[in-house]
Amino acid sequence: MVVVMKERATEAQVDAVIARLIELGMDVHRSSGATRTVLGVVGAHKVEPELIGLLEGVHEVLRISEPYKRASRTFKPEDTIVNVGDVRIGGDEVIVMAGPCSAETDEQVQASAAAVKRAGAKILRGGAFKPRSSPYSFQGLGEVGLQMLRRAADAHNLKLITEVMDANQIELIGKYTDIYQVGARNMQNFTLLRELGHTRKPVLIKRGLSATIEEWLMSAEYILAGGNNDVILCERGIRTFETATRNTFDISAIPVVKKLSHLPVVADPSHGAGRRDMVAPMARAAVAAGADGLIIEVHHDPDHALSDGAQSMFPMQFDRLMAELRIIAPAIGRSICLESVARRGWSR
């Protein structure tokens, strides 16, 4: 249930409604927007909405049919903006996160970070703890990888996003990263989600390989319910009967989720497509569909990457994509970083 207070409701009226709901055994989550206060109400008991509607200062009481509450747009009608230092995710500007799939060497991370910065990315991506389908594949460098990523991010004035696979890695990774990434395979690792709800750093949660949009939003709800409001959703492709691409990139999920939820939505065309020649068209489509950001794999030498080389872009391809996005974003009322200095030599 959501209680929408009147525009001119006083603080005392809001407090009285909250006190009454708590008395009735409910959990109340307050959201104070620019014009009015909205109370998200959850609890095991049944409360008559009509009775709450009679309390002073209440504009209307809505039943939320969705099982998620705090992630729902009914609870919070205005878009959430996640601030990572001076980078705002969910505002007018489309934010691009880019970098290698995994941190491999200092030279590789530095070269990739320099390339993505030059092209206009604001956030460096890269994994130090890698969820690999095979136990024999490269598993990531652990803390050494985190150090490489942090050094490169700082050297190029980028923010950093890196994956956390287990609740026991939260503290260590928190010393280095600006945003925690929850991978597709961990979307329903509820212990991890619950613990991330207690942190105060933004969390990007990827959609699971076979997760419905509702299940994905329920996972976001775990983090929000713990008190961490800085959650970013990421569509990265789902598993279907189609085998021509690594996954089926569900672009329709972007407008669907933007309608259902106030949380920012980022798209990952690299894992969505799985092939570097398909990444640019999917990235362009995602921005056109309303994504608040992109997360893209870029490697200075992708043919020798230790993970996901086939879907990692060459820096030159990424430069070109960024230039194209600078044309697409304004067409739908968005902006994108204009600082790029790298527009040379596309045809080479």
Residues that bind ligand PEP (CB under 6 A): 101, 127, 131, 183-185, 206, 236, 268, 271
* 163 touches Mn ion (CB under 5 A): no
Q: How far is the CB of 182 from ligand PEP (least distance, A)?
A: 8
Q: Which is nearer to ligand PEP, 276 or 334 (CB)?
A: 276
Q: Which is nearer to ligand PEP, 4 or 179 (CB)?
A: 179
Stretch that binds Mn ion, among 82-90, 200-208, 216-224, 306-314 (CB under 5 A): 306-314
Distance CA 233, CA 127 (A): 18
> Which partner, ligand PEP, Mn ion, none, binds residue 201 by CB below 5 to 8 Å per kind?
none
Could you tell me if residue 77 is left (phi over 0), alpha (psi between -120 and 50 degrees) or otherwise beta? Answer: alpha
Q: Which is nearer to ligand PEP, 1 or 265 (CB)?
A: 265
Q: How far is the CB of 270 from Mn ion (least distance, A)?
A: 7
Let me know if 87 is exposed, middle or buried by CB neighbors in 10 A (0-12, 13-18, 19+).
buried
Q: Which is nearer to Mn ion, 67 or 131 (CB)?
A: 131
Q: Are 200 and 182 in contact (CB under 8 A)?
A: no
Locate 276 and state its tokens. 């570097």
β strands within 194-292, DSSP E: 203-206, 231-235, 265-267
Q: Which is nearer to ligand PEP, 90 or 269 (CB)?
A: 269
Could you tell me if residue 278 is left (phi over 0), alpha (psi between -120 and 50 degrees) or otherwise beta? Answer: alpha
Task: Count the Cβ atoms, other than its own, within 10 Å of residue 35.
Answer: 9
Beta-bridged to residue 5, according to DSSP, are 58
> Which partner, ligand PEP, Mn ion, none, binds residue 236 by CB below 5 to 8 Å per kind?
ligand PEP
Q: How far is the CB of 6 from Mn ion (least distance, A)?
A: 49
| Near Mn ion in 96-115, by CB under 5 A | 101
Q: Are 107 and 330 in contact (CB under 8 A)?
A: no
| Near Mn ion in 25-54, by CB under 5 A | none
Q: Are 270 and 235 in contact (CB under 8 A)?
A: no
Q: How far is the CB of 289 from Mn ion (least distance, A)?
A: 22
> Which partner, Mn ion, ligand PEP, none, binds residue 230 by CB below 5 to 8 Å per kind?
none
Quick note: the x/- pattern for Mn ion over 258-297, rule CB under 5 A, is ----------------------------------------
* 308 touches Mn ion (CB under 5 A): yes
* 221 touches Mn ion (CB under 5 A): no
Residues 6+ apart with CB under 8 A from 162: 125, 126, 127, 128, 129, 146, 149, 173, 176, 177, 179, 180, 181
Could you tell me if residue 70 is left (phi over 0), alpha (psi between -120 and 50 degrees) or otherwise beta? Answer: alpha
Q: How far is the CB of 171 from ligand PEP (least distance, A)?
A: 21
Contacts with Mn ion by CB under 5 A lie at 101, 308
